[in-house]
């Protein structure tokens, strides 16, 4: 696979997907990263550590895909269920070598400072990292109601007092001292506004050490994010993984180059990133969606494009993933492109996406039988809703593809 990608840039782009879980408040991870980095600078920690803490802030909620979980974390200072997503995040990161250093701080980023010290659960350095993320995370939770109105500056003092009151219990005293020093200035809070965040992110990316990702690392990171998306709803468990497998096998049967087959597999893993912004209630609804709900759902492929197009080297992957709901008839979305304007790989991904959804067991209905799915896909082909040549290949290898679509891992 000939993709030249800076893994850091890819991580920064994929962090946008994590922020989508906030639905109406979509920059939580970035704000936590900025606050953690600024506190680390105030303590004169090395530049490499500042960058690490910024990256850790971006990804600290990698275990959150549910909008309901996000709302609890923002609304409650010490939510009883907070540890579950920390454990999920730890599980996702611990075996991915480029980011494995983040795994333990993510696991303990909702553990109080006094509990960390009492249990001696972490080396002191890791405990401070985890606790700094908790501090920044709780500051952002308290500030969240005021971002939309632009009133954060007016409410900063109650937030600062709340953090100061918890020094030694929730937060390490030296971290509280650093936070109080930097947050006394307007620039600390103004850096959390959307335009300033974008500039801060660009500066961090420009000054950080690039990391050339290997093919295996790209595939592993894409799989991690597929798991995050698929975990959002019990209805779509393992969907992205199944789509990626089916799309690649269809492409192989059609003689697509190995290079494009590998890129298509990554596109399949990432094609539903935008669904992280769809509220849980819509994804979990075991009945037809109403018109407003359909409009929200249909936005997800556009959101996917907005995330992936930021990654240099992902141009084809971004296009194929974003176009997986476009149809040869021109009646798809979000752009209404007709078949002549759709890459073969995008057309394959559409077929794989529909097919996997039909054969996968869902909590509210079993997957379609072999006969039923063959009939259904033939009907779509007859209406010019899927590409005829791809439909023919699918029918010719139906048993093999059903098995791939239904595989749990």
Q: What is the pLDDT of residues 271-326, one digit of tens each?
A: 999 898 888 888 888 888 899 999 999 999 999 999 999 999 999 999 999 999 99
Asked whether the beta carbons of 376 and 362 are under 8 A apart, the reply is no
Please check whether residues 177 and 297 belong to one and the same domain: no
State mean pLDDT over 144-169.
Answer: 94
pLDDT at 178 over 90: yes
Residue for token pair 């001696």: 120
pLDDT at 71 over 90: no
The CB density around residue 382, as the number of other CB atoms within 10 Å, is 11
State mean pLDDT over 129-158.
Answer: 94
- Which pLDDT value is given to residue 203? 94
Please check whether residues 202 and 245 belong to one and the same domain: no
Give residue-wise pLDDT tens across range 188-224.
Answer: 999 999 889 999 999 999 998 889 999 899 999 999 9
Please check whether residues 146 and 261 belong to one and the same domain: no
- Which pLDDT value is given to residue 334? 92
Distance of CA 273 to the CA centre of its chain: 6
pLDDT exceeding 90 applies to what percent of the chain? 76
What span, in angstroms and rounded, lies between the C-alpha atoms of 123 and 108? Answer: 12
pLDDT at 24 over 70: no
Token representation of residue 308? 């992936």
Tell me, yes or no, whether 372 lies in a domain.
Answer: yes
* Domain end marker among 190, 207, 224: 207
Please check whether residues 232 and 366 belong to one and the same domain: yes
What span, in angstroms and rounded, lies between the C-alpha atoms of 168 and 84? Answer: 24
Give residue-wise pLDDT tens across range 4-21.
Answer: 899 999 999 989 888 888
Peptide bond before residue 397 is cis, with ω within 30 degrees of 0? no
User: Residue 214: what are its φ and ψ, rounded to 5°?
Assistant: -80, 165
- Which pLDDT value is given to residue 23? 65
State mean pLDDT over 59-85.
Answer: 91
CATH number (domain holding residue 165): 1.10.3210.10
Residue 149: give the domain boundaries: 7-207
Tell me, yes or no, whether 344 lies in a domain.
Answer: yes
State mean pLDDT over 136-163.
Answer: 94
- Considering only residues 386 and 407, tell me which one the structure prediction assigns the higher pLDDT: 386
What span, in angstroms and rounded, lies between the C-alpha atoms of 225 and 282? Answer: 20
Total H helices, total E strands in the chain: 23, 0
Asked whether the beta carbons of 62 and 71 are under 8 A apart, the reply is no
Q: Coil, strand, or helix at residue 365? A: strand
pLDDT at 107 over 60: yes
Please check whether residues 254 and 352 belong to one and the same domain: yes
Tell me, yes or no, whether 1 lies in a domain.
Answer: no
What span, in angstroms and rounded, lies between the C-alpha atoms of 163 and 177? Answer: 10
Catalytic residue among 30, 275, 309, 310: 275
Please check whether residues 165 and 222 belong to one and the same domain: no
CA 294, 296, 299, 304 dihedral sign is negative
How many independent structural domains does the chain possess?
2
Token representation of residue 59? 């990804």
pLDDT exceeding 70 applies to what percent of the chain? 98
What span, in angstroms and rounded, lies between the C-alpha atoms of 317 and 271? Answer: 9
| Closest C-alpha among 78, 134, 127 to residue 104 | 127
State mean pLDDT over 348-365.
Answer: 89
* Domain end marker among 207, 242, 267: 207
Tell me, yes or no, whether 2 lies in a domain.
Answer: no
Terminal-residue alpha carbon distance, the chain: 23
pTM of the model: 0.92
275 in active site: yes
3-state SS of 87-153? HHHHHHHCCCHHHHHHHHHHHCCCCCHHHHHHHCCCCHHHHHHHHHHHHHHHHHHHHHHHCCCCCCH
Band (149; pLDDT cuts 50, 70, 90): confident
Q: H helices of 191-343, where?
A: 194-207, 215-230, 239-253, 258-270, 280-283, 291-298, 300-308, 315-322
Asked whether the beta carbons of 304 and 321 are under 8 A apart, the reply is yes
Band (119; pLDDT cuts 50, 70, 90): confident
């Amino acid at each position: 696979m000939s993709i030249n990608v800076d893994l850091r840039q890819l991580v920064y782009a994929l962090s946008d997907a994590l922020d989508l879980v906030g639905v109406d408040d979509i920059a939580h991870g970035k704000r936590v990263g900025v606050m953690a980095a600024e506190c680390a600078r105030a303590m004169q920690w090395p530049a490499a550590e500042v960058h690490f803490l910024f990256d850790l802030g971006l990804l600290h909620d990698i275990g959150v895909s549910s909008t309901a979980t996000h709302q609890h974390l923002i609304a409650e200072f010490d939510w009883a269920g907070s540890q579950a997503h920390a454990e999920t995040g730890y599980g996702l990161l611990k075996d991915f070598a480029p980011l494995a250093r983040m795994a333990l701080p993510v696991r303990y980023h909702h553990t109080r400072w006094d509990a960390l010290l009492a249990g001696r659960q972490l080396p002191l350095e890791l405990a401070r990292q985890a606790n700094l993320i908790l501090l920044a995370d709780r500051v952002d939770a308290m500030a969240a109601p005021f971002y939309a109105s632009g009133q954060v500056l007016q409410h900063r003092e109650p937030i600062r007092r709340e953090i100061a009151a918890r020094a030694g219990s929730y937060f390490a005293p030296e971290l509280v001292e650093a936070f109080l020093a930097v947050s006394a200035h307007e620039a600390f809070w103004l850096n959390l506004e959307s335009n300033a965040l974008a500039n801060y992110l660009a500066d961090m990316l420009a000054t950080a050490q690039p990391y050339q990702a290997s093919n295996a690392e790209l595939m592993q990171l894409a799989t991690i994010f597929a798991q995050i998306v698929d975990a959002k709803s019990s209805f779509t468990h393992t969907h992205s993984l199944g789509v990626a497998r089916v799309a690649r096998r269809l492409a192989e049967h059609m003689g697509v180059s190995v290079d494009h087959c590998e890129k298509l597999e990554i596109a399949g893993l990432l094609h539903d990133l935008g669904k992280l912004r769809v509220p849980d209630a819509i994804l979990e609804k075991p009945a037809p969606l109403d018109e407003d709900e359909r409009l929200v759902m249909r936005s997800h492929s556009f959101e996917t494009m907005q995330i992936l197009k930021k990654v240099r080297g992902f141009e084809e992957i971004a296009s194929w993933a974003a176009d997986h709901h476009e149809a040869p008839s021109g009646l798809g979305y979000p752009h209404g492109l007709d078949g002549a304007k759709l890459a073969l790989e995008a057309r394959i991904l559409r077929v794989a996406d529909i097919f996997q959804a039909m054969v996968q067991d869902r909590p509210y209905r079993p997957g379609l039988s072999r006969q039923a799915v063959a009939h259904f896909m033939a009907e779509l082909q007859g209406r010019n809703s899927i590409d005829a040549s791809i439909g023919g290949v699918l029918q010719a290898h139906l048993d093999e593809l059903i098995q791939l679509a239904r595989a749990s891992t």
